Amino acid sequence: MSGFLGVLQRELRLNLSGGGEVLTLVLFFIIVGAIVPFAIGPDQVLLASIAPGIIWIAAFLAMLLGLDRLFRPDRDDGTLALYRLADMSMAGVVAAKVIAHWLTTALPLIIASPFLAMILAMDGPTFARTALSLLLGTPALAAFGAFGAAVTVAIRRGGLLAPILIAPLCVPVLIFGVGAIAPLGGPDQASSAMLFLAALSLMALALSPFAAALAIDWGEE
């Protein structure tokens, strides 16, 4: 447990001292969402109806920006090799990295989402559902992203390939995320979508550390 907490603290410290990377992700998230109204025009009704999808797409794209720094810097400086020789399992190291990745990418986006909600003319109840869906669904995006980063860590310019690999895995998260905010079938469908989001996140968090650890071991052999 002390080893897990040590890796988590190290990852948080490195991510937060990365020269404004967290701020860059937040600004990218807001800019992506803010560009859409210029393309749609002044129709606030239309803008509010598609705002949930815009916020989820913006969050997904922003989280892709941080994938390349999950494992590649550790591989370049030899830290990843030391992790493989440590008493702690590689799956535990990956789990700590996933948690740190979510805390320094997804959580700032959720905190910044009220600004984007105001730009997109979203009402209060819809924004509350949006924040809850992001809180439940973004852990799955972080877990899938860690798997993609692990698969491509040994590949030159693998950071360009990882988003392509994980995009199909993230589609269900986006579908249920939007469905939980703007359901077509009423409150029951929204509740079901929220439950599916939570289930996807739990499943991804449970399986991705082992899958990513296996991918790293294969890539380093």
**Can you give the residue ranges of every domain in the chain?**
2-220
* Residues whose CB falls within 8 Å of the CB of residue 91, separated by 6 or more in sequence, listed in order: 209, 210, 212, 213
Is the model more confident about 20 or about 62?
62
Q: How far apart are CA 32 and CA 39, in angstroms?
A: 12
* Residues whose CB falls within 8 Å of the CB of residue 98, separated by 6 or more in sequence, listed in order: 142, 143, 146, 205, 208, 209
Q: Strand (E) positions, 62-217?
A: none
Check residue 41 and give its pLDDT. Answer: 73
Check residue 138 and give its pLDDT. Answer: 94
User: Is the distance from CB of 10 to CB of 83 less than 8 angstroms?
Assistant: no
- pTM of this prediction? 0.89
Main-chain dihedrals φ then ψ at residue 34, nearest 5 degrees = -75, -25
Q: How far apart are CA 208 and CA 34, in angstroms?
A: 33
Check residue 173 and give its pLDDT. Answer: 93
Q: Convert the pLDDT of each residue in 102-156 to its tens digit.
A: 999 999 999 999 988 888 888 888 888 889 999 999 999 999 999 988 888 877 7
132: nearest Cα among 197, 53, 47, 46: 197
pLDDT over threshold 90, residue 21: no
Check residue 220 and give its pLDDT. Answer: 60
pLDDT over threshold 80, residue 12: yes
Is the model more confident about 128 or about 83?
128
pLDDT over threshold 70, residue 219: no
Check residue 56 and give its pLDDT. Answer: 92
Check residue 180 and give its pLDDT. Answer: 86
Q: How far apart are CA 199 and CA 49, in angstroms?
A: 26
Q: Strand (E) positions, 30-162?
A: none
pLDDT over threshold 60, residue 22: yes
Is the model more confident about 20 or about 35?
35
The SS3 call for residue 126 is helix
Check residue 44 and give its pLDDT. Answer: 77
Q: Which residue reads 């740190």 in tokens?
A: 100
67: nearest Cα among 172, 148, 174: 148
Is the model more confident about 195 or about 66?
195
Q: Convert the pLDDT of each residue in 168-213 to its tens digit.
A: 999 999 999 888 886 665 666 778 889 999 999 999 999 999 998 8
User: Is the distance from CB of 54 to CB of 120 less than 8 angstroms?
Assistant: yes
